[in-house]
Structure 1
Amino acid sequence: MATPRRRSRGPSGAVRAFDVQTGKLVWRFDTVPKPGEVGHNTWEKDGWKDRSGTNAWGPISVDVNHGMVFLPLGSPSYDFYGADRKGEDLFANSVLALKTETGKLVWYYQIIHHDLWDYDLPAQPVLMTVHRANREIPAVAEVTKTGFVFVFDRLNGVPLFPIEERPVPQSQVPGEATWPTQPFPLKPPPLARTSVARADITNVTPESRKYCLQTFGSILPARIFDPWSLTLKLEMPGTLGGANWSGASFDPFSGYLFVNTSDLGVVGEMKRQPAGSPEAYLWGSKWGTFARFWDSQHYPCQQPPWGTLNAVNLNTGEIAWKVPLGVVDALKAKGIPKTGIYNLGGSIVTAGGLVFIGATADHRFRAFDAQTGKELWVTKLEFNGHATPMTYLGKRTNRQFVVIAVGAGGNIGDDASGPTALAAYALFPKGQSSPAQARLQAELAKIPSGTGSEPPEIKPPLLAPTQPIPFSHRGHVAAGMSCDNCHQLSSDGKQMQIPSVTGCMACHQSVMEARPAIQKMTQLEKEGQQISWVRVYQLPEFVFFSHQKHIDAKLACEVCHGMVRNQDVLRQEKEISMVACINCHKLRKVSTSCGLCHNIGY
């Protein structure tokens, strides 16, 4: 979508799904609700009509298992003045969960009400499993320009940590109506600076401090969600964040979410426009639009760190570690190395416990220990790595490589042009052990010697998740059904599939059809929707498992799943872990080679 800057009216940000085989439009979801739709009443008068923006600003995430897509939506145009769009402005600045097949709304959460700060949701929602009170919860996390991290149960949108609606300052710009409150998550803590006072002004050099106090001292203090006014004001975090489009990476081994953030404010004021202009007020400054809160050398005007890499334990909501990310070479030469620097570009985390990230405006590419945040490796690039790295295994060498795109871009820093390249690095030269091997050895040390044993029962048993349709395994077994009547083997032999609504209705169109649960399934089938079953047994993505091979070995379902036949509500009875699997293999005199279940090229 292309629209003129600063125009509030234009093409909509509607989200569309197309059939990849035919190109046919399958569904459309209007992100600005029309009359009669959920959220329409959050737009005053005709503010919803022809509203530009409110589009999927960051990449979309897909939950294949539950048939859901997650969208991070942008702010409505015009970004900094909303007199013609009074109200909360749904679904702007919201995380949306839609049904993959139909585009039907499942849930939403608005992270910014009536955005006046360009605080669109720039990052792809991150899908993960959170461990809480003996339960595994399918979750989704959204990192934001404000530095806040919002974590939800991705099936129903319930926040996994409390969120408070707090009063915020109100606008004095004529015609504007700031929303009275904004959401503040109580956990995790903010990952970026959300306020600046005179006491926070930098002292990295006398010149920098003098410039910043003379230029910006009169507009301090400043805090998050201060609205713009007719005089110069500071927004902290600024329009680059906090976090940005680079998003976050997640390590299922530790439960850590890795987020890089910038502490870089932006300054501006609202200027009255001549009569007849498209907008009554425009935002800017004598330095131009998007003027940064920095000195003449582009050193941010508050004390360092100016950029950080954060590890958030999503099981607890606490920050596990936080380290400065990046250097300023001129300051490093003066003995000030730990400043961090503003950044754009994401991280990846490997199964071996390494976090790789470029992003910084210092031409560097780094690797950190995922558990501690210690910088393990750094190299100088030809230019900035304003990109998210990727990793792969070489087919011929069976070695792991990490690649990052290098170039100018990024709309940040001093470099407007420079060389472009793909920089590739090989991990762990021959004879050098990797962190993955250390992790593996630590896990193997937990396995007792001996002839092996059956997978143990979990005590106390895990809580049963709430399913969309009540389903009794005991009742179906009593009716004479076996496991494979409802659970078909996938074509690749890896998974036993969960029941489809069509499969269920093949029986229930004439069996117990008057029950509310069956009527609900009947309606789902009519609408072409599937049942959003919650998986009880889930293996990490880095584990290779074949149901077909276990069936061929005559292994009973009960060995891994327990006495499901006796359960009215399905819950996990048996431990599924590397220790349990290896002990079971030892008992049956089956290979316990690492390469059987893992790609040991890591």
Structure 2
Amino acid sequence: MNKPLIRQLFSYLSLASVSLLLACTQLSKPTSASAGNTDWPSYGLNLQAQRFSPLSNINEQNVSQLQPAWNFNTGVKATFQATPIVVNGVMYVSLPFNHVLALDAATGKQLWKYTHDRKADWPMCCGPANRGVAVSEGRVFIGTVDARLIALDASTGKKLWDIDVAANQVNTEQQNTLNSSDPNKTRKVTGGTGVGIAMAPVVFKNKVIIGITGVGYGLHIDNPTSDAPLGAVIGVTGRYGRPGFLAAFDVSDGHQVWQFDTIPAKDWEGKFTTKTADGSYFERDIPAEKAALKEYPDAAIFGGGSAWSTPAIDADTNTLYFGTGNPSPQMNDVSRPGDNLYTVSLVALDTETGQYKWHYQQVPHDLWGYDLASPPVLFHYQHQGKTIPVVGQASKTGWFYVHDRVTGQFVTKSEAFVPQHNLFKKPGPQGTVVYPGILGGANWSPVSVDERQHKIFVAAMHSPIKYTVHETEASNGRKPMRYAASEPTDDARWGLLSAIDSQTGKIAWQLKTEQPLIGGVLSTAGGLLFCGEGNGRFAAYASRTGKALWHYQSAYGVNAPPITYQVNGEQYIAVVSGGNSLFGFKQGDSILTFKLPKN
């Protein structure tokens, strides 16, 4: 036989053997599932933002045995709201003031830390808290209190790019404009109008999507005592703020792909609505508002409309859904006649272009600070004999709203999950007590949806608020100026953890908690619901009945959304514990994780 031919044949066989060996190696290489690993890869777990995990190793029968796995103290004691992200066994956590940690998710060992260099002269509208990061394409993305979007190398924490999302082109309210007899004139101000980013980004089709906050915030007066809620929020008549926006940026270099302004370029006054499709009625002086259009023709350029919460995304239709904040000035409508579109609205956009699809305004011409703060969630609903895709949102007003995902048509809303009194009543000089008020209802806390049980789980609060309209003294020929204030009353406050039947809107079960609930919930296929409280109690409940099954006492408030993940076949529950200064809950710096003891 021809020897060169034999050598060539053996060469081909060797290459084929190597190729076969490589193929077999790749096939046998453990995937995330086969290795016993299950991630928590995005803020809401999935793009639908359901926060329902299929993990069930920890369940109703054994959750009472849950014990600490590892705790990590970050060294930054401040309001802590982050959702940890877990990808390939690594946990990424954003800290207050926008520092970022990467930890071994099984042991808590620190892998790297990014320390954020914040602009010293940039005013923080809303405190130092951050809701979380996004992880994709080997990068970690974070939005900052000084309105930057930063990409880090996921393996090292090295900064890859850093862009300014928005110039700080805002005017801020002045405390010295208040009445001399108003005690808030001399109290400490902890926040006001000023551009920042609070939400966790979301990544979709090579775009990182994020929005700005603080553009219609109002003066925030410090708590009267360390364990009390926010002292007051004050909206001053004037030209404060700017339009908010949601925008998409390229993951590779940060260049902007599209931007959607939450205030329309024209016709932001809308139709002067007094009744919405969900049956809510609003007391308004429409003739006076229309007359004011001539005096305030450019009110929209200071319009507000912050983007507080991470969008939910329907990947099948390339549609994202997000909620918008209050108009500017906060609670004070003298200088902003009309409906103030698209504030206090659920908005649907095309993910690829940012083009508007539809919106639903829950509260036109808002006077109470009823931002859509809780993130939207996507699920399916039986409607007129058909299963339709819907988007739901837990509101500050105390209802869970449901809309057709495609058209935006209002479908239904739940029973009220908090007490309601004087809802949408226009405040006056004597003051009006309203609940729920500016704090909610459901504040920024994310909900969880268990479609198997047809249940929506909502963490909310009962916190009465007194709204008062003031007018400054006339002096030196200047006309009196109006401002509006919302302040907590001396009435009792508490929390409400609710399970809502997603098909009927009825409350399936409800628990009253000692303190207002702020932070969010997690449900699992193990029949469990996890939720924390400001007193440091972190608890597991039976999701079908609400029965308390287990709890852990933290030294600090647990006011952030829990998550669950699995590493090497072991399921973990994790939550950050650092309290919330706005509610007077003790601040700290803990990352807590739990698992079952080994047999």
Alignment TM class, shorter chain as reference: 0.5 to 0.7
CA contact (8 A) 1:8 1:52 kept: no
SS of residue in 1 equivalent to 2:335: helix
Q: Is the 8 A contact 1:249 1:259 kept in 2?
A: yes
Q: Is the 8 A contact 2:270 2:339 kept in 1?
A: no
Deviations 1:290-316 (A, max 9, x none): 532226xxx43xxxxx21111111122
Q: What is the letter of the counterpart of residue 440 of structure 2?
A: G
SS in structure 1 of the partner of residue 583 of structure 2:
coil
1:154-553 mapped onto 2 (5 Å cutoff): 154-161=405-412, 187-195=413-421, 223-274=422-473, 280-284=481-485, 290-294=486-490, 299-300=492-493, 306-324=494-512, 326-327=513-514, 341-358=515-532, 360-395=533-568, 398-413=569-584, 415=586, 417=587, 419-427=588-596, 429-430=597-598
In structure 2, the residue matched to 1:24 is: 255
Answer whether contact 1:40 1:90 (CA < 8 A) is retained: no
**8 Å contact kept, 1:8–1:76:** no
What is the aligned residue count?
346
1:241 maps to a residue whose letter is G
The percentage of counterpart residues that share the same residue type is 32
**Which AA in structure 2 matches 1:114?**
H
Q: Is the 2:474–2:480 Cα contact (8 Å) retained in structure 1?
A: no
Work out the CA distance in 2 between the residues paired with 1:279 and 1:245: 36
- Calculate the aligned-residue CA RMSD, in Å: 2.5
Distance 2:473 2:501 in 1: 51
Matched, 1:9 2:235: no
Shift in alpha-carbon separation, 1:47–1:230, aligned structure 2, 3 A? farther
Whole-Å separation in 2 of the counterparts to 1:314 and 1:55: 28
- CA offsets 1:235-272 (integer angstroms, 9 cap, x no match): 21121111010121111211211001101111242221
- 1:47 Cα deviation (Å)? 4.8
The match for 2:280 is none
Could you tell me which amino acid in structure 1 is paired with residue 424 of structure 2? Answer: F
Aligned counterparts of 1:37 and 1:292: Cα–Cα separation in 2:
31
What is the alpha-carbon distance in structure 2 between the residues aligned to residue 98 and residue 70 of structure 1? 7
> How far does residue 347 in structure 1 lie from its aligned partner after superposition?
0.2
Q: CA deviation at 1:414?
A: 5.5
Contact 1:32–1:48 (8 Å) recurs in 2: no
- Mapped partners of 2:387, 2:521: distance in 1: 25
Q: 1:356 to 1:36 in 2, by over 3 A?
A: closer
CA distance in 2, matches of 1:278, 1:116: 23
Task: Name the amino acid aligned to 2:414.
Answer: P
How far residue 233 of structure 1 moved from its aligned partner, in angstroms, is 2.1
Equivalent of residue 152 in structure 1, options 399, 403, 409:
403
Determine helix, strand or coil for the equivalent of 2:538.
strand
d(CA) in 1 for partners of 2:419 and 2:595?
Answer: 36
- Equivalent residues of 1:71, 1:124 under 8 A apart: yes
Q: How does 1:4-83 map to 2 (within 5 A)?
A: 4=172, 5=192, 6=218, 8-35=239-266, 39=270, 44-45=293-294, 46-83=297-334
Once the 2 structures are TM-superposed, how far is the Cα of residue 87 of structure 1 from its aligned partner? Answer: 1.1
Give the Cα–Cα distance (whole angstroms) in 2 for the partners of residues 8 and 321 of structure 1.
46
Q: Distance in 2 between matches of 1:357 and 1:370?
A: 11
Which structure has the bigger radius of gyration? 1
2:127 alignment counterpart: none
Larger proportion of strand: 2
Higher relative contact order (CA 8 A, sep 6+): 2
Cα 1:112–1:38 shift into 2, 3 Å:
closer
Deviation at 1:103, TM superposition (A): 1.3
User: Would you say 1:109 and 2:310 are equivalent positions?
Assistant: no
Query: What amino acid sits opposite 1:282 in the alignment?
Result: Y
Counterpart-to-counterpart distance in 2, 1:132 and 1:31: 30
Q: Which amino acid aligns with 1:251?
A: D
Distance 2:325 2:566 in 1: 36
Tell me by how many angstroms 1:153 deviates: 1.2
Paired letter, 1:270: V
Q: Offset of 1:366 from its aligned partner?
A: 0.7
Give the deviation of 1:41 after TM superposition: 8.4
Deviation by residue 1:425-444 (Cα, 9 ceiling, x = unmatched): 114x456xxxxxxxxxxxxx
**CA–CA separation in structure 1 for the residues paired with 2:440 and 2:272:** 30
**CA distance in structure 2 between the partners assigned to 1:231 and 1:112 by the alignment:** 23
Q: What amino acid maps onto 2:482 in structure 1?
A: Y
> SS of the counterpart of 2:410?
coil
CA 1:278 to 1:378, structure 2 compared with 1: closer, same or farther past 3 Å? Answer: farther
1:573 counterpart residue number: none
**Post-superposition shift, 1:410?**
4.5
CA separation in 2, counterparts of 1:402 and 1:256? Answer: 21
SS in 2 for 1:241: coil
Farther off after superposition, 46-55 or 244-253: 46-55
Q: Give, as a single letter, the amino acid of the residue that structure 2 aligns with 1:238.
A: G
Work out the CA distance in 2 between the residues paired with 1:408 and 1:137: 39
Give the Cα separation in 1 of the matches to 2:553 and 2:308.
31
Query: 1:143–1:279: structure 2 CA closer, same or farther, 3 Å change rule?
Result: farther
Report the 3-state secondary structure (helix = DSSP H, G, I; strand = E; otherwise coil) of the residue aligned with 1:49: helix
Shift of 1:376: 1.2
Pair 278,130 (structure 1): closer, same or farther in 2 beyond 3 Å: farther
Offset at 1:23? 2.3
The superposition leaves residues 57-111 of structure 1 with CA deviations (integer Å, 9 ceiling, x where unpaired) of 2222222221011110001111111111111111110100011111111111000
Q: CA deviation at 1:225?
A: 1.3
Q: Aligned-pair distance for 1:149?
A: 1.1
Alpha-carbon shift at residue 40 of structure 1 (Å):
8.9
Q: Match of 1:399, as an amino acid? A: E
Deviation at 1:377, TM superposition (A): 1.1
Any unmatched runs of 5+ in structure 1? 162-186, 196-222, 285-289, 301-305, 328-340, 432-602
Distance 1:53 1:99, change over 3 A: same
CA distance in 2 between partners of 1:137 and 1:17 (Å): 28
Higher helix share: 1
* 8 Å CA contact retained: 1:365, 1:380: yes
Taking the aligned partners of 1:112 and 1:228, their CA distance within structure 2 comes to 15
Q: Tell me the amino acid that sits aligned with residue 382 of structure 1.
A: A
State how far apart, in whole Å, the 2-side matches of 1:71 and 1:8 are: 26
Q: How far 1:409 moved relative to its partner?
A: 2.1
Alpha-carbon distance, 1:36 to partner: 6.8
Separation in 1, partners of 2:366, 2:396: 12
Per the normalisation by structure 1, the TM-score is: 0.54
Alignment of 1:570-581 (within 5 A): none
